[in-house]
Amino acid sequence: MLNREQIEIVRAEDALEYGSDIGIDGADQIYIYYFKDPGKLLEQDVVDICEAFGEYMISAYFLNDVDGPYEKLQGDEKGGYKKVFLHGESQQLKREMFRLFIEGDYSPYLNRLFLFKQKIELDCRKQIELEDGMAIIAPILDVRAIGIFSKGIDLVRLFQQITNTELLDTIQETGAKSRLIEDHNENLRNEIGYLVDYKTVLPKQIFKKPELYDFYFTYFFHCYEDDFINDLNKIGQLLKQESVKLFTPHSYYETIRKFIFKKIKQIDVPYAELSTGITEKEYGEILLCREREKMDFTDFDYLYWYFNSDCFIFGDKESEISILAIKKSLSIKNPLENWKEVELFAANPGEEWCPWLKDEEKFLAELIANYQ
C-alpha cells in the first residue's frame, strides 16, 4: 500500500508552473511520490506503485538502447525512443519495466513518460498535453521522487486506499479512538478541495461534480448529537472503513504579545482522525478539542466528516444543514433514518431549523433546484 507520508499534492496555484517545468501540461491533479530511500529504489517502492497503478500501466517510453531488456517486448520506435506496450502484461513484468524506467541505463529523466489509461500517440520529445482519460508518471530528482499527472482520472480514489497504520497502532496501544493531525502539506485540504468549492455557500451547489453523487440532508446540529455516532458507524460498515476524518478549511487566530507590542498570528487547524467505533463521550471530547487549547471544532461554520472521495459529509452551521454525499457508482441506498433527500428535507426541515435567513422559502427552493 502507498504510504500517505510519502505523498504530496501539488497546490493548484503551482500546478501550471510545475507541469510546464516537467514538460507536461493540462493535468487536473499532480502528485509527488517520494521514495523511502533518496539514494536508491527499494523493492517495496516498486511493489507499492505497481499495485496502486497497475491497471493504468499501458505503455512506457524508454530511450533507445539495442541492448536494453525492453527490446524483446512489443513496441514502436519513435525518434530515438522505444514505446513499449504493457497492456495485459503481468504485474511482475510491469514491476521490472517500472524499475528500469526509474533507474535507467542513462539519466532516468530521459525516460520521459510511463503509463497511459488510453493508448494515445505522443511525441515524447516535445511538450506533452494531457487529454481526458490519461495518466502519466515522470521521473523527477533522479530516483528521489516521481511526478504523477492525470486528467479525467480520479487518482484521489487510489490514494484513499492508503492505510493509516499509525492510527491503528495508537488505538491498540492506548485505547484512544481519535487523534489530531497537523496537515502541514495541506494534503487533506487539497483532497477535499478537489471535490468541493470552498468559496461557494448554500443553497448553491458546492460540489464540483454533483452528477457523480446522491445527496441526503439533515439538520446540522444532528452531527453534534450522540445518535450521529451510529451514522458514522453504519457508513463505516458500508464502506468497510474503520476511520473518518473531521476537517475544517478555516483557520483560527491568536494574539501574541511582546512587551507593549502585539500581533495576530494565523494558525491552521489540525484535522481529527476518528475511529468509526468511537464512543459518545470520546466524540464529544474531540468536538470540543480537549487535546488543544484555544481551538474547538464547534466554533467553526464549515466542517467535513471525510471517509474518502466516494462518501463524505459537509456541515454548514450558518444554514444549519449537513449534506451526506455518496457516489452513485456505489449503488448504496440511504441507510440512515435521520437523512432525507432534498425534496423531503425541504418539505419538513424540522421545527428546530431556524437559520438567520431573509427568505427561507426561496432558500429551500434554490436548494431543491441545485441538489435534485
Cβ distance 36 to 144 under 8 Å? no
Q: Are 235 and 329 part of one and the same domain?
A: yes
The reply to whether 125 falls in a domain is no
**How many domains does one find in the chain?**
2
What is the pLDDT at residue 279?
84
- The answer on 229 and 104 residing in a single domain is no
Domain coverage including residue 76: 4-120+132-163
Q: What is the pLDDT of residue 171?
A: 32
In a domain, 263, yes or no: yes
238 is a domain residue: yes
- 267 and 211 in a single domain? The answer is yes
Residue 67 pLDDT exceeds 70: no
User: 14-56, pLDDT tens digit by residue?
Assistant: 777 777 777 788 887 888 888 887 777 788 888 888 877 777 7
173 domain residue, yes or no: no
> How high is the pLDDT of residue 93?
81
Mark whether 193 and 256 lie in a shared domain.
yes
148 and 274 within one domain: no
**pLDDT the model gives residue 146:** 83
Phi, psi of 371 (to 5 degrees): -120, 10
The answer to whether 143 and 104 have CB atoms below 8 angstroms apart is no
Better-scored residue on pLDDT, 302 or 171: 302
Same-domain pairing of 95 and 150? yes
User: What H or E segment, with its residue span, contains residue 255?
Assistant: strand 251-258
Tell me, yes or no, whether 351 and 203 share the same domain: yes
311-316, strands of its sheet edge to edge:
178-181, 271-275, 243-247, 302-308, 311-316, 321-327, 213-219
Q: Are the beta carbons of 323 and 203 closer than 8 angstroms?
A: no
Highest mean pLDDT among 46-55, 242-251, 360-369: 360-369
Residue 65 forms part of a structural domain: yes
Q: What's the grid cell of residue 364?
A: 429551500
> Quick check: 164 pLDDT over 50?
no
pLDDT single digits (tens) 261-307: 555 556 677 888 888 888 888 888 888 875 555 678 888 889 999 99
Q: 94 with 48: CB under 8 angstroms?
A: no
Mean pLDDT on 119-145: 70
Residues 200 and 76 both lie in one domain? no
> Region 177-192: what's the mean pLDDT?
78
The proportion of the chain whose per-residue pLDDT surpasses 70, expressed as a percent, equals 72
Assigned domain for 209 exists:
yes
Provide the phi-psi class of 180: left if phi over 0, else alpha when psi is between -120 and 50, else beta.
Answer: beta
Residues with Cβ within 8 Å of residue 275, at least 6 apart in sequence: 167, 171, 177, 178, 242, 243
Note the pLDDT of residue 154: 64
The model's confidence at residue 218, banded by pLDDT at 50, 70 and 90, is very high
Mean pLDDT, the chain, rounded, equals: 76
In a domain, 177, yes or no: no
Q: In terms of domains, do 236 and 151 share one? A: no
Decide which of 355 and 339 is more confident.
Answer: 339
- Asked if 203 and 349 count as a contact pair (C-beta separation under 8 A), the reply is no
Q: Is residue 127 part of a domain?
A: no
224 and 75 fall within a common domain: no
Whether the pTM exceeds 0.75: the reply is no
> Quick one: 38 and 113 in the same domain?
yes
Q: Are residues 95 and 142 in the same domain?
A: yes
Output the pLDDT for position 259: 46
